[in-house]
């Protein structure tokens, strides 16, 4: 293990273990014959809470941090070009990225058992903003070995005590890597937008088909309901007609019965009248005979 590896390991250690880890690795470097590296390692300062969280971001969220540094490049280019419209477009992105990174940093710190107070949160945000504004501060944050939070004050970067911070410039390679990654991300976002639009069209088509199907089913249901109602009405009309015919038949049967009784009575009376007529004729003949004898 050399000094650079040891330094990374020290700043990657939990905040509470910083001193113990630093001393142990310093002993190891000295035992390996690197006395200078051991001395340099012992001189490393324990990071403040805000600095420790910023180092955690550099290790755990390198891509998101590169996005922030790349946005700083865009700000500087727009400023150099005096492009006010572009600066107005970039400003909301600046706040959004700072909000997102600060929130994610708080989550990571919580997972490591480190609480984030309002003051620490503010210092962390100032550190991230300094990384965006100043290329050298960006490189220092990206290195992940901060011992103090940073703050941009208009003329440079200072630490938590207000002292000028010794930061190194951002390399052209890292700046280009961030640009390349941003371009790749833009292409991916464009493809995702295209896929999302296609998916939206598909959902809209499916929704239209579903609505049309529901309309067809509703129309068929309404038609079937109307046919059922018509059939019920026809059945009710037929039943009413049957009841009326039954009534007429009963009336006719009753009239027939009365007529038959009348016929029977008239027939009896006719027979009686015929007998009476015969008797009267007979009596008339006998009376004529008696008269003729006189």
Phi and psi at 150, nearest 5°, equal -115, 160
Dihedral sign from CA coordinates of 95, 96, 100, 103: positive
Question: In the structure encoding, which two tokens stand for residue 288, read together?
Answer: 């004529």
Domain residue limits, the chain = 3-191
Q: How far is CA 37 from CA 29, 73, 83, 171, in A?
A: 6, 35, 47, 25
Question: In the structure encoding, which two tokens stand for residue 56, read together?
Answer: 């955690």
pLDDT (0 to 100) of residue 171: 46
pLDDT (0 to 100) of residue 155: 46
DSSP bridge pairs for 150:
159
pTM: 0.54
pLDDT (0 to 100) of residue 169: 45
pLDDT (0 to 100) of residue 1: 87
* Residue among 123, 93, 92 at smallest CA distance from 109: 123
pLDDT (0 to 100) of residue 189: 77
Q: What is the SS3 assignment for the chain?
A: CCHHHHHHHHHHCCHHHHHHHHHHHHHHHHHCCCHHHHHHHHCCCCCCHHHHHHHHHHHHCHHHHHHHHHHHHHHHHHHHCCCHHHHHHHHHHHHHHHHHHHHHHHHHHHHCCCCCCHHHHHHHHHHHHHHHHCHHHHHHHHHCCCCCCEEECCCCEEECCCCECCCCCCCHHHHHHHHHHHHHHHHHHHHHHHHHHHHHHHHHHHHHHHHHHHHHHHHHHHHHHHHHHHHHHHHHHHHHHHHHHHHHHHHHHHHHHHHHHHHHHHHHHHHHHHHHHHHHHHHHHHHHHHHHHC
Per-residue pLDDT of the chain (294 residues; tens, 9 = 90+): 899 999 999 999 998 899 999 999 999 999 999 999 999 999 999 999 999 999 999 999 999 999 999 999 998 998 888 888 999 999 999 999 999 999 999 999 999 888 899 999 999 999 999 999 999 999 999 999 999 999 876 545 556 665 556 554 444 554 565 567 667 867 887 888 888 887 888 888 888 888 888 888 877 777 767 876 776 577 577 666 756 766 786 676 777 678 777 878 877 887 888 888 888 888 888 888 888 888
Dihedral sign from CA coordinates of 172, 173, 175, 176: positive
């Amino acid at each position: 293990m050399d000094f650079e590896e040891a330094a990374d390991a020290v700043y990657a250690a939990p905040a509470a273990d910083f001193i113990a880890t630093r001393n142990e690795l310093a002993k190891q470097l000295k035992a390996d014959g690197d006395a200078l590296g051991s001395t340099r390692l012992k001189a490393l300062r324990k990071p403040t809470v805000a600095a420790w969280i910023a180092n955690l971001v550099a290790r755990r969220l390198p891509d998101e941090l590169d996005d922030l540094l790349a946005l700083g490049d865009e700000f500087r280019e727009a400023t150099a070009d005096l492009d006010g419209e572009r600066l107005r477009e970039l400003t909301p992105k600046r706040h959004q990225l700072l909000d997102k990174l600060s929130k994610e940093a708080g989550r990571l710190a919580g997972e490591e058992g480190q609480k984030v107070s309002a003051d620490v949160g503010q210092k962390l945000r100032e550190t991230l903003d300094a990384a965006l504004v100043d290329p050298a501060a960006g490189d220092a944050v990206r290195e992940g070995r901060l011992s103090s939070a940073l703050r941009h004050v208009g003329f440079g970067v200072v630490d938590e005590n207000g002292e000028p911070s010794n930061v190194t410039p951002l390399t052209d390679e890292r700046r280009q890597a961030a640009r390349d990654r941003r371009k790749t991300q833009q292409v991916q976002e464009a493809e995702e937008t295209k896929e999302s639009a296609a998916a939206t069209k598909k959902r809209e088509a499916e929704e239209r088909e579903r609505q049309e199907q529901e309309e067809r089913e509703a129309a068929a249901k309404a038609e079937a309901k109307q046919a059922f109602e018509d059939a019920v009405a026809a059945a009710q009309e037929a039943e009413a007609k049957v009841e009326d015919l039954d009534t007429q038949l009963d009336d006719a049967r009753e009239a027939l019965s009365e007529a038959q009784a009348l016929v029977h009575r008239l027939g009896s009376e006719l027979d009686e009248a015929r007998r009476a007529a015969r008797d009267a004729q007979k009596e008339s003949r006998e009376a004529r005979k008696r008269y003729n004898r006189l």
